[in-house]
Amino acid sequence: MARGEPGKVGPRGAGLAIGAIFGALCLASLTLVATCTRSCTSCVPSAIAPVPAASEPFAGAAAAIEELAWRDATRARPGYAMPAVPDAHAARVALEDTLAARGYVQVQVADDARGRSLPFEAAIGALEGACGIVAVLGVGNASLLAVDGPAGAVAASDPSVVAIAACGATSVRATGTGMATIAAWQLPGITPSDVSATGLGAEIVLAHAEAEALWRARGWEPRDEIVQEFHAARSTGFISPPAGVAPTSGCVAWVGVAIGAGRAETMSRGTLLGRDYARDRALFGAVSCAASSGVPATSTSLTDEHADGYVVHWRAWGTSGAGPSRSSVAVAPTAGSLRVVDVRGATTPPPFPAASAP
């Protein structure tokens, strides 16, 4: 058949057709990438999806659990994926906002001009006579690996920041690459003698005090009792609040502070309520309900990254009946009065009305 005869496409025409199709596909791909890059809200969820009322153990539980997370892992919250790329500015803003919301007052401001080359050791005197947080903050594209402080080494969950609890003057050793600087925050109302009297470490007491700042604003009241649970080594485990302290009616909220395990995810009736992306520690919420309510306890998964076991320090919370109170007047935390009790001697606070059983 002669060239150009209808019904036939020559080699050159076929090549042009294939090229046109390939070009169209490339253009579509570029458009998709540009759209996602321009607006991450269309590509990555900005928060946990709204929780159906039927999945909440009691009204307000989901929002309270969702706001808990370890202090230096909050940069993960917008996309619920732990950041792998350093971003010194974003990490610093996330930490400052988190600590301010939890009642801390900054007493040593980071000075990038005095940044030090990693690794380094530094003495910090800003918390003399007080308790609070010491943060090692990356400068520019620095990447932190760990900070060794009063309670041992803490691996970086965010490559741009590691924040540890301390009481009194202390020293830290930071490892990583690049430059880093140091800042410190004091938590008014908690003293070194308070922490010493509890028999608990500063990390545990301050984490519970942070949760207290958030949950008291909801009109909730805690018990000043800590129930400890020791868990054997395993890669991932699922835990619920202490069964021996279940209420006789309604539901009780719990704050769990885990040391030695992290990446906490709390579920209720198959629905995700909260996540914490810290690697080897966690601050999370949970709920237990009376058997008569028909509402199951929440389940929290924890990852034991080092496979050497971990401890969860539970504190029970109940309703005060006063309702939410976002007062601008700071209330001194009672976490400094915590005491460890046997599960058989623990008491339950006034319960929340349980949601209807599914």
Same domain, 179 and 232: no
**Residue 191 φ/ψ, nearest 5 degrees:** -115, 165
Same domain, 179 and 120: yes
Largest CA distance in the chain: 99
Same domain, 118 and 233: no
Residue ending a domain, choose from 135, 167, 186: 186
What is the mean pLDDT of the segment spanning 81-109? 92
Same domain, 329 and 237: yes
Q: For 268, which DSSP code?
A: E
Same domain, 169 and 219: no
Which of 110-114, 239-243, 248-252 has the lowest average pLDDT?
110-114
What is the mean pLDDT of the segment spanning 211-219? 95
Same domain, 211 and 328: yes
Establish if 334 belongs to a structural domain. yes
325: its two tokens: 């109170």
H or E stretch at 195: helix 192-198
Establish if 24 belongs to a structural domain. no
pLDDT in tens, 148-195: 999 999 999 999 999 999 999 999 999 999 999 999 999 999 999 999
What is the pLDDT confidence band of residue 296, given thresholds at 50, 70 and 90?
very high
Same domain, 88 and 149: yes
Same domain, 172 and 221: no
Give the per-residue pLDDT at 236: 78
Same domain, 283 and 301: yes
Strand-pair partners of 106? 185
What is the pLDDT confidence band of residue 77, given thresholds at 50, 70 and 90?
low
Strands 339-340 and 105-108: unpaired
DSSP string, 198-230: HTS-HHHHHHHHHHHHHHHTTTEEE-SEEEEEE
Residue ending a domain, choose from 130, 165, 186: 186
- Report the phi/psi class of residue 10: left, alpha or beta, with left for phi > 0 and alpha for psi in -120 to 50: beta
Distance in angstroms (rounded) separating the CA atoms of residues 158 and 91: 8
Establish if 351 belongs to a structural domain. no
Give the per-residue pLDDT at 80: 57
pLDDT in tens, 246-268: 899 999 999 999 999 999 999 99
78: its two tokens: 């917008």
For residue 206, pLDDT over 90 is answered with: yes
**pLDDT winner (highest mean) among 50-54, 174-178, 352-356:** 174-178
For residue 292, pLDDT over 50 is answered with: yes
For residue 32, pLDDT over 60 is answered with: no
Instruction: Tell me the pTM.
Output: 0.83
CATH of the domain at 166: 2.60.120
For the chain, the domain total comes to 2
Beta-sheet strands, E only, within 232-298: 236-239, 251-259, 262-268, 271-276, 281-289
Residue ending a domain, choose from 146, 161, 186: 186
Same domain, 153 and 297: no
Same domain, 290 and 336: yes
pLDDT in tens, 300-333: 999 998 889 999 999 999 998 655 555 444 456 8
Strand-pair partners of 352? 251
CB 272 within 8 A of CB 284: no
277 closest CA partner among 70, 44, 2, 25: 70
Give the per-residue pLDDT at 84: 74
Give the per-residue pLDDT at 162: 97
Give the domain extent around 324. Answer: 54-68+190-345
Strands 339-340 and 225-231: parallel
Same domain, 119 and 234: no
